[in-house]
Structure 1
Amino acid sequence: MWFDEPELERGGYQFFLFQENTPCWVDSFAAALEGGYPKLPSAPPEVLENLRNCQPHLIQDRAWVLMYYSMVLSQVSNKDSDRHSIKKKLRRNIWLTLHDARLLLEPSELHITALTLLACNAEEFTTPSLCWMLAATACRMLQALGINQKRLDPETRQRRKMMFWHLNLLDKGLSIIFGRPPTFHRAMAKEIGMPSLEQLMASQPRGMSSGAPRLFGTHYFHQRLLLTQVMGDVWNCLYEDAEPDVQRIERVSRDVDGWYQRARTVLDASAISEKPFLEPAGAASIDIALHCLDFLHHYIQVMLYRAYPGTRSNCVMSSKAMLRVLEHLVSDGDEPYMLSVWQLLCCPFTPFLELFSEILSNGQGASEGNQETLATMQLLLTYLHTMSPSHTLATKLERIAEVFVRQAEAVIDPQAIKSIY
């Protein structure tokens, strides 16, 4: 994944160029900037021209180069998963771009966008720790720039306010997954204030088609932002308490349920009103967004319930419900409301391991309940296998999950242990 100094020296500190692929890649890059959410800056004509001419070294602000190669690596991973040589060269180009220390040290909105895109999209380059570091650096850059200062003009304040809330969404999500403290303190959210629906509507992508669910999308992201307020309490409950506090767990769990019920009420109503006017792809995007909401709700409940042995049955029930959602999160194209790759691939392992632990510890052998639990565990294998052509990480995780499934089969049927070795 990484390149040490000798390997970079052998490459001559020069970018690998891809003359045959470049025209298509640059067009896809420009389209992604137009259709990305939150609204992304448009690349200047001279940047696109230098990229088309295979002259990335002439682009002064390397943030554009970093965004370009990050997006291209993600696209190659999705469409050309067997082309390992191209991926390796693209990873090297990203690493070479990061040799410009300004990307990590000089706060700017463009640098924040580039680091965020790299953290979220190029999982074949980043690791969980690196993803966390990139996201944390982006958050600190925004703090250094300022968000609500009076010296800023209204347009800049509004733009940075939206940037804060989307970074806060990423920050809180990664903190739960990786067990790291959030970079943004909860007091910042109260100080900055939640964006209105009108402001969220204005931040819709410029390139969004007329058949896309604009009103639903506004409500969806508003509900996701509201969830960040609850997730701060979830993190404190999971990682700050020295011992599990059952009363606090139950209280936070009720808050999560309350958010989910309100969110579903709003989004179901929005879906009913907007779906009849959408193209099939837009209607399918709404369905995926609703399943993403279910996924997040079940995941947070699993994280809370697993912290206290007295809620074991609830943990198992939520784990099964979450794994049953996975088949609905597979999409052939880019979805505007899809979760990050780290959420899609890492989060399901938590309920999966909880079910594995349940089979090992309940002493029920080949009971009907254990058979059902095993069948639910196997849903993760199917999901990861489906995701493997798009994500190398899914292939690695599939192999790991298969070992656990075989061990669970051996517990249910001891004769099956012979097939493991």
Structure 2
Amino acid sequence: MTDIPAFSSRHHNRIAALHGDVTEWRRDLHAYPETGFEEVRTAGIVAEKLRAFGVDEVLTGIATTGVVGIVRGRSEGPMIGLRADMDALPMQEVGDVPYKSTVPGKMHACGHDGHTAMLLGTAKLLAESRDFAGSVALIFQPAEEGGGGGRVMVEEGLFEKANCETVWGLHNWPDLPLGTFCPLAGPTMAGIDYFDIAVLGQGTHAGMPHDGVDTVLAAAHLVTAIQSVPGRNVSPHKTATIGVSMFRGSDAYVVMPDEAVIGGSVRYFEPGVRDLAEARIRSLATGIAEGFGCEAVIDYRKNYPPAINPPAEAEFAAGVAESLVGADKVFREHDPCMAGEDFSFMLNERPGNYIWMGTAAPDHASGKLHYPDYNFNDASIPLGIGYWLALVDTLLPVNRYDVT
């Protein structure tokens, strides 16, 4: 296993003693991945362990499989939220680790198994010591990978059930070195919308194209034209990415289909850019389809808003991370990521921060997030637990309400 970078924490010895157990939990979760809103086994393990740790309240069934544990400190104070996502991806794992996925077509290719295990370790240590003033809500969220579990948890009363003043998220980041953190201020993870466009025409034999209306040809022109939106319609001072990732036509070499369907995503940070992109996609689809004698049916779905880290909380998170690993290991500037993240729904309700935790190491091949050979770096586990405990120590110090 990769050596664990040095870090400064008053909990260091307790974290180190727990590292092996948390690694085992993580690898068990990895071997039995569950996708969005189907995390029944995962949620059951989480709830069982929280109760065994002596967590004061364990709330289940929020957003179907979501779990929230509440730990109360030794004295009164506010509540903060720590969030981990639990779901896997619908992908076939190609790695050959001993704990490889046992479920065909599903794997933890984004490290949510690591996030869940680290938050469980944090819960155990908090419940043992209770060395803080106030309460900590441990939020285990389902269906981050496109299902909007964060939105559903908020809609089902997450912050009424656990009235957090602030909420804090963490994600492993294999593009950053192990032992580093990146708490950006401002745009961090892009908003993401999905679209499907069906181009309808008249199918025919491929050898007699003049007897039909070629939907595939029209859809192919649309794929090309859509790329003009970020390049020619969105200001170069703003950011948008539009990717057409699906194209479905006929299943036969000699059949020109009645319908060709394309699908993809729009990624953005500013609402005005989203509105512009949607309007242009609709206009292009309608115009190009009509130009080829076809009809376009457009399904545009607004999915995740962008995750925008408030500056004050980003500065606070940076300070907490610096206390753990040193100022030279905390990156305050970095390009934002154009992937989506539904922690944004929680940040829209409560201030907080979504921090990236580096996991890259010379002797550990992490792979890329969402790749079938991805492998979470278990050496990062103590750093994740250390960061969450440092947040609690700093936000909820036991002497905050002492009267002098």
Query: TM-score normalised to the size of structure 1?
Result: 0.24
* Structure (1 or 2) with the larger CA radius of gyration: 2
* Higher normalized helix content (fraction of residues): 1
Query: TM-score normalised to the size of structure 2?
Result: 0.25
* Higher normalized strand content (fraction of residues): 2
